Structure 1
Amino acid sequence: MEVNEEKLHELLGKVVVEMGAAANGPLITIGDKLGLYTTLSESGPMTAKGLADATGTAERYIKEWLSAQAASGYVQFDSETNQFHMTPEQTMAFGDRNSPVFMTGAFYAITSLYHDEPKMTEAFKTGEGISWGNHNKCLYCGTEKFFSPSYEGNLIASWIPSLEGVVSKLEKGAKVADIGCGHAASTVIMAKAFPNSTFVGIDYHDKSIEEAKLRAKDADLKNISFKVGTAKDFEDKDFDFITFFDCLHDMGDPVGACAHAKSALKEDGTCMIVEPFAMDSLKDNLNPVGRAFYAFSTQLCVPCSLNQEVGAALGAQAGEQKLKEAITAGGFSHFRRATETPFNLILEARP
């Protein structure tokens, strides 16, 4: 076998990048938990000692942490002043929890993947699924922290307005179901924005529903309730609006879930399905976004679906065409892409 040295070095260069990314993951969550990014972004240029003093941390660790962040391109280093700072773009990604592109949550979720690697190894051999509730607890807070900023930045401002006639219904007072609500990030945002409407969050993971109730209580929301249930067995009817946020592809029977949603909607009701952005073919998804979503899909989405009835296993990169097939097979006659972001497809379905 003849080895192409140039291609080998190119490959090894990519592997080194991977090593750095994998090793820096815990440092990102540490930086978030200790407020290192936030303090640096708000205080301007600082030495390692300055950041350590401001955050009550140990200078030697902070110096090494800052060096790793600068080498990653997550903070800036000025060799003349020996100070570090963050650009507005770096702040949006790591220092501002209200930013629509705040990224640290993904690294909390990634922590769970390493903890659960033995389970995944066994699943690869058996073909069996892994339920959402059978993952390391880091997954649940990480998922919420990752999706919440995008929901906060887009849901009320652009996603719901892209749907036909939904805003006016919600403003007047509508009945809404949020299927697969998890910790209720999406449910709480909608309930705050539309106080005349009533919302019910439904999820089959009982621990997530417990947390969702606490989130609603903390927000002092009276127009929101929660139930443990699946997308195919909730009993309420006559909804004006039903939502699925980044969860339809995780379901064992997405067609059945859509059929049940359709039966629970009023004749003039609307269903909004938010899904990870993907093109319809693998070759068009071989990019950084697809790379991240395929990795999560392999370890979270596909095993979650395989653990349920039917086990359709659409995956997080199903693409619009496969989603359309599932949604219309569930009985919806109207389907369209309402809008999109670099990370999401926002789909509208009506009876």
Structure 2
Amino acid sequence: MCMACEMDPAKAEGFAGSIIEMINQGALGILVSMGHQLGLFDAMVGVPPISSLELAASTGLLERYVREWLYAMAAGRIVEVDISSTYFHLPPEHAQFLSRKFPGDNLALFAQYIPVLAGVEQQVIQCFKQGGGVPYEQYGRFHEVMAEDSGQTILGALFEHILPLVPGLLERLESGVDVLDIGCGSGRAMVLMGETFPNSRFLGIDLCEAPLTAARQRVREKGLNNVHFIQADLTTFCPEGKFDLITAFDAIHDQARPDLVLATVYDCLLDDGVFLMQDIDSSEKVANNLDHPFGRLLYSISTLHCTSVSLAQGGMGLGTMWGTEQANRMLRAAGFRQITENRLPHDPMNCYFVVGR
């Protein structure tokens, strides 16, 4: 029997509608990213209905572009529009999830991943055909977006929620310990900890030089002498000395060889040291991720970034959704025996592993 004869017209129509909605939402996502970057949402928080001319004036932007952006936001039901006066209003229920004025709740920053990933679409298409991957340096603003993402999920919760996962850790940091951060990016967490705990010593390592330039500049501006950064590939590089605390914030699954990096972590950790690893809270089985609130975004990031940058280095290509099951197996294979998983209310994307020898 032909496929057309078996087709359910209602199901087909419903699916077509969902594809149209997906295309609409994808396009709108780019404009949400732009609104976040340009401060347009921030400027609309808590103000009465505003015209495109007034919004442009308050943000220093060109009215013609602001007007078209507002029309798109109205069509997407993100802002409300008074048809008679063409004034626009950002409801407080929406503002909470779109503005920097609500740290911890701002979802607009995640929309930035969409245009960043779209920028390498053609290169990844070639990888589908020819193999290999796209290296980190081809991803434009990815490090910048990741830094902002980490600023919301890590920096704001670091002292109140994340470090206290390890009993007594804050006291040890105050007394003075040695800390290593893997995949440190622009080093915001290391700099913040270096400021807060002047008796401790901090070393950040990242594969890419570009974010480290920003990290070193931040250290100079703060006048810190207890924070240092090294550009290195931890697949083959092992830092000198032993560390009381090793951290990895959303970094292990991106490594070419996570197994080798975790073995290095084990070798560098003192017997009574702690490895604090934040990574994606997912399952290695796709069936368990079908209802994940960020599943579609994370699999897209995996296809267009995490899998590709690993394969570009000749790595394992585990991808973003490598799964907590596989993370546990790799930690144990590296030699770790004490592994505790933690979920924090402020961060629905990640699992926080507290790991000891």
Whether TM exceeds 0.5 here: the answer is yes
Distance in 1 (CA, whole Å) between partners of 2:79 and 2:156 is 24
**Which among 161, 174, 178 is matched to residue 171 of structure 1?**
174
> Cα offset for 1:44?
4.0
What secondary structure sits across from 1:348 in the alignment?
strand
Q: How does 1:1-351 map to 2 (within 5 A)?
A: 1-2=4-5, 3-78=7-82, 82-96=86-100, 99-133=103-137, 135-232=138-235, 233-287=237-291, 288-309=293-314, 311-340=315-344, 341-351=347-357
> Cα offset for 1:214?
2.0
The answer to whether the 8 Å contact 1:104/1:146 transfers is no
The answer to whether the 8 Å contact 1:191/1:224 transfers is yes
Distance in 2 (CA, whole Å) between partners of 1:16 and 1:32 is 24
Please, which moves more after superposition, 117-126 or 57-66?
57-66
Q: Which amino acid aligns with 1:7?
A: K
Distance in 2 (CA, whole Å) between partners of 1:75 and 1:157 is 34
Distance in 1 (CA, whole Å) between partners of 2:229 and 2:176 is 18
> Cα offset for 1:294?
0.6
> Cα offset for 1:83?
3.5
What secondary structure sits across from 1:43 in the alignment?
coil
Question: In 2 relative to 1, CA 109–301 (structure 1 residues): closer, same or farther, beyond 3 Å?
Answer: same
Q: Which amino acid aligns with 2:207?
A: Y
What secondary structure sits across from 1:314 in the alignment?
coil
RMSD, matched Cα:
2.2
What secondary structure sits across from 2:343 in the alignment?
strand
Distance in 1 (CA, whole Å) between partners of 2:187 and 2:214 is 8
Question: In 2 relative to 1, CA 19–82 (structure 1 residues): closer, same or farther, beyond 3 Å?
Answer: same
Question: In 2 relative to 1, CA 236–45 (structure 1 residues): closer, same or farther, beyond 3 Å?
Answer: farther
Q: Which amino acid aligns with 2:306?
A: C
Q: Identity over aligned residues, as a percent?
A: 28
The answer to whether the 8 Å contact 1:36/1:55 transfers is yes
Q: Which amino acid aligns with 2:296?
A: R
The answer to whether the 8 Å contact 2:46/2:92 transfers is no
> Cα offset for 1:128?
1.3
Question: In 2 relative to 1, CA 97–118 (structure 1 residues): closer, same or farther, beyond 3 Å?
Answer: farther
> Cα offset for 1:80?
7.1
Question: In 2 relative to 1, CA 151–315 (structure 1 residues): closer, same or farther, beyond 3 Å?
Answer: same
The C-alpha deviation readout for 1:78-135, integer Å capped at 9, x for no partner, is 55765333344433332216612333433333223222112101111223132222x2
The C-alpha deviation readout for 1:220-258, integer Å capped at 9, x for no partner, is 433211001122413222211001111101112112111
Distance in 2 (CA, whole Å) between partners of 1:325 and 1:76 is 50
| Count of matched residue positions in the alignment of Structure 1 and Structure 2 | 349
Distance in 1 (CA, whole Å) between partners of 2:352 and 2:40 is 34
The answer to whether the 8 Å contact 1:279/1:317 transfers is yes
Distance in 2 (CA, whole Å) between partners of 1:90 and 1:195 is 40
Question: In 2 relative to 1, CA 76–176 (structure 1 residues): closer, same or farther, beyond 3 Å?
Answer: farther
Distance in 2 (CA, whole Å) between partners of 1:171 and 1:26 is 43
What secondary structure sits across from 1:95 in the alignment?
coil
The answer to whether the 8 Å contact 1:335/1:349 transfers is yes
> Cα offset for 1:265?
1.2
Q: Which amino acid aligns with 1:70?
A: A
Question: Could you state the TM-score of these two structures normalised by the residue count of structure 2?
Answer: 0.89
Question: In 2 relative to 1, CA 192–127 (structure 1 residues): closer, same or farther, beyond 3 Å?
Answer: same
